[in-house]
Amino acid sequence: MSQSRVRHSDIELGKPLPWDVYDEKGTLLLRIGYVINSESQVDKLVAIGVFADSTALRATRLLQYEAEEQEDTPASAAQGWTDLRKQMEQLYAGLDASIADRALANQVAEIAQRVDALCTARPDLALAIISLRQEGRYSTRHMLDTATVVRLAARAMKLPQAREQSLVCAALTMNLGTTDFQDEIKKFTGTLSKAQVDQLHEHPSEAAKKLKAAGVTDAAWLRAVQDHHEHLDGSGYPRELAGSDLHADAQIIRLADIYTARITFREYSSAVALTIALRDILQEGGKTVEAPLAGQFIRAVGIFPPGLQLRLANGEKGVVVRAGSSPNHPIVISLVAADGAPLTPGVYRDTQIAEYAVKETIDPTTFNAYIDIDAIWGV
């Protein structure tokens, strides 16, 4: 009997197994019809490597594929985000007309709803794609990335739905009217001129002004855009707000803005590892944002966010797929063996097991394996 490795997506919680499950030596572990109800049990099975009849597995995957086709899912795991990036670029390309027609609020709300749908469907992919796929126009992609992190953080913080919606819309428009300037300074390698610094400091107010001109009346949305560069200690801009004058909403957008900007390559500054970006967020606590809020944000994103590249105790190199049984023990897919040979297909590892424990993070520029988003976070 030909056997194939069982993937995490092959096992449906609460439903009978459609095939027998074996270990790599062919020993029967679970009989057909057995019901798995625990996500952690699936993690352990996939981590140790279990197998099933190849024909039966293909039949199961075909049924899953057909079911998802009927649900009109994107052709690939990343396609929904690729399409949304294009929609953002189109929105900002026709910005003047949208403002004049007072259509902007509805257009932004539509994108916010798509962000919510994609985050709900695959929250791990939503985070991973920010660091792993940085194609397209920076200024619009950065606002979309920030909105994605804001949506995930707001949901983890259990914010009211209306407030969450306002925050996501604010992130999608935080640099409204200055996208060309944002693209310009991303590529700038020298010292900004006084005129450039002045424009940078005024852009939150300009964005809020344009939103009002476009007919936006949501006070929370406008406030978050106006104040997303203010600091708790009064050192921010443009109004130099401090302490209780600075609303938590603006601070959440600031944290997401910092996080996504730090992990993005710029001509004047290389992208940093996700863990360094999170460390920077922690250092913001008590200075530019409230310390408890910074802690909540890190818990929402995760100590080991999806997309982070790691080296394991056994020497393998891989990528964080999602959270594991605890914040310190993510589920990783190993893509490179200890001897440097590629692992094809990748092998899932539970880092709670000592042999596969996290040893260190890896500089993304030195990670010498292709990360197939569709294979890892797809169906």
Three-class HEC string of 38-75: CHHHHHHHHHHCCEEEHHHHHHHHHHHHHHHHHCCCCC
- For residue range 295-325, what is the model confidence (pLDDT) as tens digits? 899 888 888 889 989 999 999 999 999 999 8
What's the rounded Cα separation, in Å, for the pair 244 and 224? 14
Q: How far is CA 262 from CA 266, 271, 348, in A?
A: 9, 6, 28
Locate 338 and state its tokens. 């200890």
DSSP annotation of 239 reads S
Q: Is 14 exposed, middle or buried (0-12, 13-18, 19+ CB in 10 A)?
A: exposed
Closest C-alpha among 204, 149, 201, 147 to residue 175: 204
Closest C-alpha among 68, 150, 53, 63 to residue 111: 150
Task: Judge whether residue 231 has pLDDT over 60.
Answer: yes
Mean residue pLDDT of the chain comes to: 87
**Mean pLDDT, rounded, for 108-133:** 94
Q: How far is CA 223 from CA 91, 115, 203, 290, 367, in A?
A: 22, 21, 14, 18, 41
**CB atoms < 10 A from the CB of 297, how many?**
28
Those residues whose C-beta lies under 8 Å from the C-beta of residue 71, and which sit 6 or more positions away, are none
- For residue range 135-170, what is the model confidence (pLDDT) as tens digits? 888 899 999 999 999 999 999 999 999 999 999 999
**Mean pLDDT, rounded, for 204-214:** 95
**Mean pLDDT, rounded, for 352-377:** 89
E strand or H helix at 30, and its extent?
Answer: strand 28-30
Torsion angle in degrees (nearest 10) through CA of 274, 275, 280, 282: 120
- When pLDDT is cut at 50, 70 and 90, the band that residue 266 belongs to is very low
What pLDDT score was predicted for residue 325?
87
Locate 360 and state its tokens. 């260190």
CB 115 within 8 A of CB 80: no
